[in-house]
Amino acid sequence: MKIIPFLLRQIQSHKIKSISFVFVILLTLFLWYGIIWMCQNMSSAVSYYSSINIWDPKRVKISSGGNIFAFLSKGVSGLSDETLKKISNDSRFEDIKTFTLIQYPVTGDFSIFSFWLESDIPVFAISGNTPLGKKWVGISQKMLEYYNLQFAGSLPIFPKIDKKFIKGRKVVITVGKSKLFNLDGKKPAKPIETQITDISPDYPGFGVVLPKKILESRLKSIGLSLWNPFKVIAKIKNLNDIENLKKDYKGINILFDQDTIKINEKRLQTLQLIFWVTFLAIICIVWTIILFLLGSILREIKHIYRLIYRLGIFNIRSIFLTLWELIFLTCTAGVIGYFLNIFVFSYFSKLATAFFPTRWILFPIIAPNIWELLLYIIVCIIFIISILFYYNWRQFKELKNCK
């Protein structure tokens, strides 16, 4: 019974060391989980970009410059007739498709979920070899991925969707109608009742695509006409012609998927390099902290053992009594670390989900799973306590053999 007051006095005498012990265990749990979280998201990014089939080495995109919004703000009419003629007569291209933005309000009424959703939406007229037939609708593969990464799961009414789910869904496209703009009583064109039949990486990243003829007829019925295409997508017959094409189309905004593939490969390599450097740095910091902590704590335990051995009260019970404070502090740090990691890494996941799409870096961000995190905390606590018990056993064995 004499050992209990003795240990209580020891706890009172080193409050700062106890707080330091909790802090270091907490920091260790946080940094280790940070490594796990980074590994999960790195693996997610690599597997995502390795599996998707957005880029085609033979694909080339020629546009009037910038994105859709820049195109609208410039008030230009798209690619010039001379450029379009040059592209169509160039024998180095095949499977040429042109995309013309309807620069007039258009609404899309979608029956994708359990309700109809109507909104203003960019609509493009496509010409060339297309699987859309006379009036079917196509959407971009990027648009589907962007929805799944940004909106799916935010509300119960917005589930995650795939190509099988969305194909065949009904859509009503109305040219000359708007939910946002006042059109001064102008009558819209006859609605186009259609359905989604194609999802392709060739289509513009945001909006829907319809055949050129049906949109031309709807615009004509309300006294409007199509402008020149703002984008042309084609395939290169021979990849060796890329350098010559860059020279021949100098001054025109031309982008080769072959170059994009190389750029993305470099980005992934850079991302992996940054990850491994950060990973090794954190590993070194964590192990330095752990070794310093254990060295300090184990030296203190050793001195306590020798003291209680000299007092003649060294037994199994006294060993457990010397450990209870450390076990209690370790468990306390584990509980705090559990909730801290959930809060911090959930926040980091939300920040990453909001930031990366603005840079068109789209991959599923892995958020902390409460059960996986709980298992991680339990395993870490058991590991630390096991080290303490092992050292206790070694000290017990050593002092028992002392004469």
pLDDT at 139 over 70: yes
Tell me the average pLDDT across 277-293.
74
What angle (nearest 5°) sits at the alpha carbon of residue 29, between those of residues 26 and 33? 140
Tell me the average pLDDT across 219-227.
86
Tell me the average pLDDT across 105-113.
80
The pLDDT score that the predictor gives to residue 83 is 86
pLDDT at 81 over 80: yes
Burial 327-342 (b: 16+ CB within 10 A, else e): eebbeebbebbbeebb
Q: For all residues of the chain together, what is the average pLDDT? A: 76
The pLDDT score that the predictor gives to residue 169 is 84
Tell me the average pLDDT across 368-383.
85
Amino acid letter at 181? F
3-state secondary structure of 130: coil
Q: Which residue has the higher pLDDT, 77 or 351?
A: 351
Tell me the average pLDDT across 254-266.
79
Highest mean pLDDT pick, 68-72, 100-104, 355-359: 100-104
Lowest mean pLDDT among 84-98, 156-170, 218-232: 156-170
pLDDT category of residue 313 using cuts at 50, 70 and 90: low
Tell me the average pLDDT across 261-281.
75
Residue partners of 345: CB distance under 8 A and separation at least 6: 33, 34, 37, 367, 368
The pLDDT score that the predictor gives to residue 1 is 47
pLDDT in tens, 117-126: 778 888 888 8
**What is the phi-psi region of residue 223: left when phi exceeds 0, alpha when psi lies from -120 to 50, beta otherwise?**
left
pLDDT at 174 over 50: yes
Q: Which residue has the higher pLDDT, 189 or 298?
A: 189
Sign of CA dihedral 220, 222, 227, 230: negative
Q: Structural domain boundaries of the chain?
A: 3-52+264-400, 59-236
Tell me the average pLDDT across 24-44.
78
3-state secondary structure of 395: helix
pLDDT in tens, 323-338: 777 777 788 888 888 8
Helices (H), 193-238: 212-221
Q: Half-sphere exposure of residue 89, counting CA atoms within 13 Å on the CB side?
A: 6
Q: Is residue 259 exposed (0-12), middle (13-18) or buried (19+ Cβ within 10 Å)?
A: middle
Residue partners of 167: CB distance under 8 A and separation at least 6: 196, 197, 198, 199
